[in-house]
Structure 1
Amino acid sequence: MPRPAAGKQRKSAKILFVCVGLLGVALIADLLWASSTSSSSRSYKSAYDWPRPKASSDSFPVPVSSNHSAKVVTDKDKKDGVHGRLLSKTFADLPAPDLKWEKMAESPVPRLDGAAIQIHDQLFVFAGYGTIDLVHSHVDIYNFTSNKWGGRFDMPKEMAHSHLGMVTDGRYIYIVTGQYGPQCRGPTAHTFILDTKTKTWKNMPPLPLPRYAPATQLWRGRLHVMGGSKEDRYTPAVDHWSLAVKDGKVLDSEWKTELPIPRGGPHRACIVVDDRMYIVGGQEGDFMAKPNSPIFKCSRRNEVVYSDVYMLDDEMTWRVLPPMPKPDSHIEFAWAVVNNSIVIAGGTTDKHPETKKMILNYEIFRFQLDELKWSVIGKLPFRVKTTLVGFWDGWFYFTSGQRDRGPDDPTPKKVIGEMWRTKLSL
């Protein structure tokens, strides 16, 4: 009777083999689940942990604001796709007091990436995009006393149409470099002087190299031009040049090389107060021309917006000051000096971590120069970048720029020419 016993043994062996197989499948499934969970956790972390650029000889680490946090979400907000959490479209907004705004006469044309200089009760508004395919080549003037626009006149044909560096001594306006033409065309090194009384133009020596949106100021008898983007429109520049000027005349035959700026890039505010020069905010990277595009069509690239603040002191060294409440860029002409404070309106901040879209700011920031302290003192009627600011007789004005899509969508949409004002007492 050996066969029945052998059959039972084979049957038992089969049962044992099946059990071992099932146990192996269970272990493999468990390992795969654990691996998937770990991978999801890493994806979730990378979506919410904001990468910062590494420090180099040309840059400082970017401070991270503790106020840069999420808001209450709505049904319109997008899920992160991993854990079902909601991320607000307006995550970057900071709490800000409401201000009473009054709408004034609209600019003759809408402007994006234009420039503005205030002299007494007049705001000279230059150039800028009307649309991505249309740029302006003239100056409009707003009179704060009469609250009217007028006095339009043309710019030189060789002068840049956007991303300009510009400053005044109270009569003469010094204009340097910038982008020539629409879309994402190349920069020019041309520089000019405008006599605002006679409306006449003169040439200055060209910059050593063309730049986009460099920080520009008059300090201690010299015209200083710093940073901006290099000729490819993307790479941050840290170059710092100066030229001696006085009463609309150039006293040097060429630009002098100065101490490089600690961190390069365009779209930052540059202000001189009490014989000290301040550089505020800005970004690294920008749109570039699409390769081989006959119209230099703009193509998106990665940008890093920062909150850095630097000051050039008596010893000609750069000091690091307290950072802005949150990263802010596109503010080169969005500032005014009010009672020993720098006031900055709107701009752009870090891109949305989910959609990767540009986010506009609506906050009005104040930097108290005696205490070196930042605060948020109000908000604009809407979020807007590259707005043009003036301050006169207690009124804070802004005009032009690119505004948001609405209260629940801070991404850019319409280029505007609107002029608004609010009473501001500091």
Structure 2
Amino acid sequence: MAKFTHHHNHRHSPWKKLALVALLASFVGAILIADSFYASSSSSSPAYLSLASNWARQKPEIVVLPNVPPYREEAEKKLEETEQKKGPHRARILSDTFADIPAPDWQWEELPAAPVPRLDGAAIQIKNLLYVFAGFGTLDWVHSHVDVFNFTDNTWSDKFDMPKDMANSHLGMASDGRYIYAISGQYGPQCRGPVSHTFVLDTKTKEWSKMPPLPAPRYAPATQLWRGRLHVMGGSRENRHTPGVDHWSLAVKDGKPLEREWRTEVPIPRGGPHRSCIVVDDRLFVIGGQEGDFMAKPGSPIFKCSRRHEVVYGDVYMLDKEMKWTTLPPMPKPNSHIEFSWVIVNNSIIITGGTTEKHPETNRMMLVGEVFQFHLDTMKWSVIGKLPYRIKTAIAGFWDGYLYFTSGQRDRGPDNPQPKKVVGDMWRTKLSL
């Protein structure tokens, strides 16, 4: 009994109370630190992100000042109005829809979804058929087949396998209208490195052939067929993170290489993956992208993804027939994950979705929900519409006056532009330019 009484008194002593409070404070602090670390990954849990979103609304907002007129002028005006209403100490406001640019609302029609959801897949449109390759189903599961969408009757009409040693995501890809060239990319799930394998698909016979491997593996390289040569440039190096500026080309014709080795060309002005690469009017354009990406965690047997610092940019470069790079006006805002998110319509390039700069306070990835137009006659950008939701690595197509997009990773809702669900949705809207 005495022992029990002594323990009882000891438990309620002031020193023990202080120790208990300190212990609880340490426990809460540890949770917050762990939570903050976990939130730096795009794979954060829905429960946490729901809490973080509600928390963010209680903080002061931040008015984002884009680099390109007229959007910067609009943001500056909003900042000035906010300062007048709330005073200078509350003028910087953080919006849940960080960096969204005002754009017209479009009417979208939802069509049959792809047979599987996919992220970081590749695609080529040949006439009325959209060939959609590979991609992540989840971070631990990758696809190794091709789904085909028929724009004529809006159905997923075919499916066939890819070679077993072909990359499963982050491929470079181009076509001459019959043959599809598949270049390098990442083999396997999580954050494995790229391979140097290259293949060509005959879309009429559905037969695959191998071509000479790249001089070095590349992750998500910008790839395009131009002036009889297959050009591969930029991307990330073997660790997925270090930008590559190398530029190689290979002469090809009717699905066959005309050379045994790739030729070294003029380096691209800025390296990195996740860019649009387009040929129009005998000019090659490389648009957007980023420097840096997730890497495999050191020592992880499954190459578990580990986040690294990334810089998203909106740079636009053009390569002319004299093999000289020219810097053109940047996108309205930095944009990445747009490799297959583009179409060509009425002498302009249309780009759908993507990812922009990280959130200024949470440093989380922010998705893009705007549709951009690059006018090839004036070399100027416009923001022409909104998608049904923000999305990255969307796959775009254009047929009979309709803009289509499918697949990718969408946002968490209208008020939360962070990435969440990998989807296979297919949408279209009538495009009037």
TM-score, length basis structure 1: 0.82
Letter of the structure 2 residue corresponding to residue 350 of structure 1: E
Q: Is the 8 A contact 2:315 2:330 kept in 1?
A: yes
2:314 maps to what in 1? 307
Q: State the secondary structure of the residue aligned to 1:265.
A: coil
- Aligned partners of 1:87, 1:326: CA distance in 2, in Å? 17
Q: CA RMSD in A?
A: 1.8
Provide, for residues 24-68 of structure 1, a one-character-per-residue CA deviation record: whole Å limited to 9, x for no partner. Answer: xxxxxxxxxxxxxxxxxxxxxxx9899xxxxxxxxxxxx933536
1:168 maps to what in 2? 175
1:313 shift after superposition = 1.1
1:330 maps to what in 2? 337
Q: State the secondary structure of the residue aligned to 2:196.
A: strand
Q: State the secondary structure of the residue aligned to 2:350.
A: strand
- Aligned partners of 1:215, 1:196: CA distance in 2, in Å? 22
1:86 shift after superposition = 3.6
Q: Is the 8 A contact 2:103 2:385 kept in 1?
A: yes
2:422 is equivalent to residue 415 of structure 1: yes
For residue 277 of structure 1, the aligned residue among 281, 284, 287 is: 284
Q: State the secondary structure of the residue aligned to 1:197.
A: coil
Letter of the structure 1 residue corresponding to residue 328 of structure 2: L
2:387 is equivalent to residue 380 of structure 1: yes
Q: State the secondary structure of the residue aligned to 1:308.
A: strand
- Aligned partners of 2:294, 2:205: CA distance in 1, in Å? 37
1:341 maps to what in 2? 348
Q: 5 Å matches for 1:205-224? A: 205-224=212-231
Cα gap change, 1:49 to 1:190, in 2 (>3 Å): farther
- Aligned partners of 1:83, 1:147: CA distance in 2, in Å? 50
2:138 maps to what in 1? 131
2:273 is equivalent to residue 266 of structure 1: yes
Letter of the structure 1 residue corresponding to residue 185 of structure 2: G
TM-score, length basis structure 2: 0.81
For residue 255 of structure 1, the aligned residue among 254, 262, 278 is: 262
Q: Is the 8 A contact 2:211 2:257 kept in 1?
A: yes
For residue 65 of structure 1, the aligned residue among 63, 68, 73 is: 68
1:91 shift after superposition = 2.3
Larger radius of gyration: 1
2:125 maps to what in 1? 118
1:404 maps to what in 2? 411
Alignment length, in residue pairs?
359
For residue 302 of structure 2, the aligned residue among 285, 290, 295 is: 295
2:201 maps to what in 1? 194
Q: Is the 8 A contact 1:156 1:201 kept in 2?
A: yes
1:84 shift after superposition = 9.0
Question: Which has a greater percent of helix?
Answer: 2
- Aligned partners of 1:314, 1:133: CA distance in 2, in Å? 43
Q: 5 Å matches for 1:11-160? A: 64-66=67-69, 67=71, 69=75, 86-160=93-167
Provide, for residues 260-315 of structure 1, a one-character-per-residue CA deviation record: whole Å limited to 9, x for no partner. Answer: 00000000000000110000000000001011011100011111000100000122
Q: Is the 8 A contact 1:337 1:343 kept in 2?
A: yes
1:26 maps to what in 2? none
1:182 maps to what in 2? 189
2:354 is equivalent to residue 350 of structure 1: no
1:118 shift after superposition = 0.1
- Aligned partners of 2:231, 2:120: CA distance in 1, in Å? 20
- Aligned partners of 1:406, 1:107: CA distance in 2, in Å? 21
1:149 shift after superposition = 0.3
Provide, for residues 144-165 of structure 1, a one-character-per-residue CA deviation record: whole Å limited to 9, x for no partner. Answer: 0010002100000010000000
Provide, for residues 394-420 of structure 1, a one-character-per-residue CA deviation record: whole Å limited to 9, x for no partner. Answer: 000000000000000000000000000
- Aligned partners of 1:283, 1:83: CA distance in 2, in Å? 32
2:401 is equivalent to residue 394 of structure 1: yes
Q: State the secondary structure of the residue aligned to 1:306.
A: strand
Q: Is the 8 A contact 1:89 1:352 kept in 2?
A: no
1:425 shift after superposition = 1.8
- Aligned partners of 1:315, 1:107: CA distance in 2, in Å? 41
- Aligned partners of 1:271, 1:152: CA distance in 2, in Å? 26
Q: State the secondary structure of the residue aligned to 2:184.
A: strand
- Aligned partners of 2:196, 2:272: CA distance in 1, in Å? 17
Gaps of 5+ in 2: 1-60, 80-88
Gaps of 5+ in 1: 1-46, 51-62, 73-81
Q: State the secondary structure of the residue aligned to 1:187.
A: coil
For residue 369 of structure 1, the aligned residue among 359, 363, 376 is: 376
Letter of the structure 2 residue corresponding to residue 311 of structure 1: M
Cα gap change, 1:87 to 1:398, in 2 (>3 Å): same
- Aligned partners of 1:182, 1:293: CA distance in 2, in Å? 13
Q: Is the 8 A contact 2:136 2:169 kept in 1?
A: yes
Q: Is the 8 A contact 2:62 2:92 kept in 1?
A: no
- Aligned partners of 1:179, 1:89: CA distance in 2, in Å? 33
- Aligned partners of 1:146, 1:248: CA distance in 2, in Å? 29
- Aligned partners of 2:377, 2:306: CA distance in 1, in Å? 42
- Aligned partners of 2:218, 2:371: CA distance in 1, in Å? 28
- Aligned partners of 2:112, 2:90: CA distance in 1, in Å? 49
1:59 maps to what in 2? none
Q: Is the 8 A contact 2:62 2:94 kept in 1?
A: no
Q: Is the 8 A contact 1:336 1:391 kept in 2?
A: yes
1:236 maps to what in 2? 243
Letter of the structure 2 residue corresponding to residue 417 of structure 1: G
- Aligned partners of 1:247, 1:227: CA distance in 2, in Å? 25
Instruction: Give runs of ≥4 in structure 1 deviating > 4 Å.
Output: 47-50, 68-72, 82-85
Q: Is the 8 A contact 2:67 2:332 kept in 1?
A: no
Q: State the secondary structure of the residue aligned to 1:64.
A: coil
- Aligned partners of 1:49, 1:105: CA distance in 2, in Å? 39
